[in-house]
Structure 1
């Protein structure tokens, strides 16, 4: 039976995805539960929403405080997106994290040197993006909490040793895909909204081949490109690192929006980062929620027909747009 999701439910779901803290997520989930059509086609989705609400309430009330040690299955999200580095032992994940961020992981020649999740901040131009180095994943052994981090990531960088043969690399990718699917996680080229997504989590994926300094990896790239887009890198001679930064930004499906005051130059130092498809009103809401009720009109530089055009609140923004908010 089709879900026939309402506009109010879809709006609440977008609010849930944009929420940064537990309180906002809980409010959005309760809106989702209130607005979802009640019939057989949405039974599983309703149950999943109720489960998430219960879990967030438990976390908010501190009922899980009896757990000892650090919380390994959650890393506080920072920047424009949370990107996990996933791969088999000795694939070069930690070396990539060290080359791209300010983090200092343990880099060793022996397998399983990464035992805890380690975050670091990478910059693409003026946008900070969080990278999280995860312990290795293989059929032989994987940490149970690792799957939760992958499930909640905005992007997965499947990191592989480019010195291996193409067939071995393809087999490794298929093995990891199967391991994730056992935990209801599906790696995809680009995330699409589906009725199934409340049960199976789609996570966009890019393959990153390390050891790009060792020679031509064209045959490996050709073999793996049928699965996911491939980026060749080397932390040693820094091959492909700029391409990887750009590839991550593009894969996150976000845009940068800058603001300006009337009669003043635009603030081009620190943009607001919104999902692709965001409107002018979404940007106003991100600048300050209270501005929505006081909004008089918006001018846009970039995606308008001309610079400084007054646009409706439903105007779709593009990357690097500048907005000028006028309030009553």
Structure 2
């Protein structure tokens, strides 16, 4: 029997996947249990949610009572989405962050240069995307917090050094470390349908230092070893033309649409669009602008796919590039 999950539940589930602490997970799981439809098709999912809620409450209690033995990091989400850069030592993560954003990470020839997460903002067209460089992953080590970073991300870029014969296996080791922690680099984001403890995160492969004549061969070796069907791009930072396709591919992974707004009686604000998932409504946009506006929203005027300046209700579905005037 199909679950027939409501859009409200799916939003709560997406918020749960982005949580970064046990307390946040408790709040989201409680909300998911409130919203999940009650019928035979969701019985297994309801039981799974109750189990996870019990575990999250125990974890939250343990976090509050235990002494801090390891460092934790929280990076506020910004822009249209958060994309995590991961890879083995010297895979080119920091170099990509430096080339794609205004951040200035330490870039050096020796391994383990990156010791803590570092964010930067990448611009694509009129949209900003948050990129986060992370410490390297090896067959024998992954930072404890990195798994939650990846699970909470909107997307992942797996960096593979195109100039190193060892890089295909090293990249497979990164995938294995995450898979052992029930986190899978995949072509789409969401919980695994057969095992709700596994999180799939939309990912692509960036083959850095692709000016090496054997970079494409090493990519083939990685594909054969990993069985990966992820989109892959060859990137050479000394050839800026290879960076633009990467920027666009990173933005596409977010699966969002751009929406522009205007206040009644004022010119439209076309420089900094809001970004929401396809299928979002006028009410969703108003909530993103400000929750008070969403509460008092009466109607909107929309210019775009549906017509020019048409009056619509809060449930009207918006489309890429729509200009919306909210009234409340």
Q: TM-score range by the shorter chain?
A: 0.7 to 0.9
C-alpha distance in 2, partners of 1:309/1:158? 44
Asked if 1:209 is matched to 2:221, the reply is no
1:247 to 220, 232, 249: 249
C-alpha distance in 2, partners of 1:4/1:129? 33
Alpha-carbon RMSD? 3.2
1:259-278, aligned counterparts within 5 Å?
Answer: 259-278=261-280
C-alpha distance in 1, partners of 2:18/2:177? 28
**Where does residue 188 of structure 1 map in the other structure?**
186
C-alpha distance in 2, partners of 1:161/1:15? 33
Q: CA deviation at 1:192?
A: 4.5
Provide the TM-score with structure 1 as the length reference.
0.83
Q: CA deviation at 1:239?
A: 3.5
Per-residue CA deviation, residues 163-197 of structure 1 (Å, 9 max, x unaligned), is 346xx655444333222111000111122565456
Q: CA deviation at 1:85?
A: 0.9
Change (3 A) 1:44 1:317: same
1:291 to 290, 293, 298: 293
**Where does residue 102 of structure 1 map in the other structure?**
102
C-alpha distance in 2, partners of 1:29/1:251? 26
Q: Count matched residues.
A: 319
Q: Which SS does the other structure have where 2:298 is aligned?
A: strand
Q: CA deviation at 1:160?
A: 0.8
Q: CA deviation at 1:312?
A: 3.6
C-alpha distance in 1, partners of 2:149/2:18? 17
CA contact (8 A) 1:213 1:239 kept: no
C-alpha distance in 1, partners of 2:98/2:305? 37
Q: CA deviation at 1:116?
A: 1.7
- Listed as ranges, the gaps of 5+ residues in structure 1 are none
CA contact (8 A) 1:30 1:53 kept: no
Moved more, 249-258 or 191-200: 191-200
Q: Which SS does the other structure have where 1:243 is aligned?
A: helix
C-alpha distance in 2, partners of 1:68/1:173? 29
C-alpha distance in 1, partners of 2:22/2:44? 29
C-alpha distance in 1, partners of 2:188/2:126? 24
Provide the TM-score with structure 2 as the length reference.
0.83
- Listed as ranges, the gaps of 5+ residues in structure 2 are none
Moved more, 103-112 or 40-49: 40-49
**Where does residue 88 of structure 2 map in the other structure?**
88
**Where does residue 302 of structure 2 map in the other structure?**
300
CA contact (8 A) 1:86 1:137 kept: yes
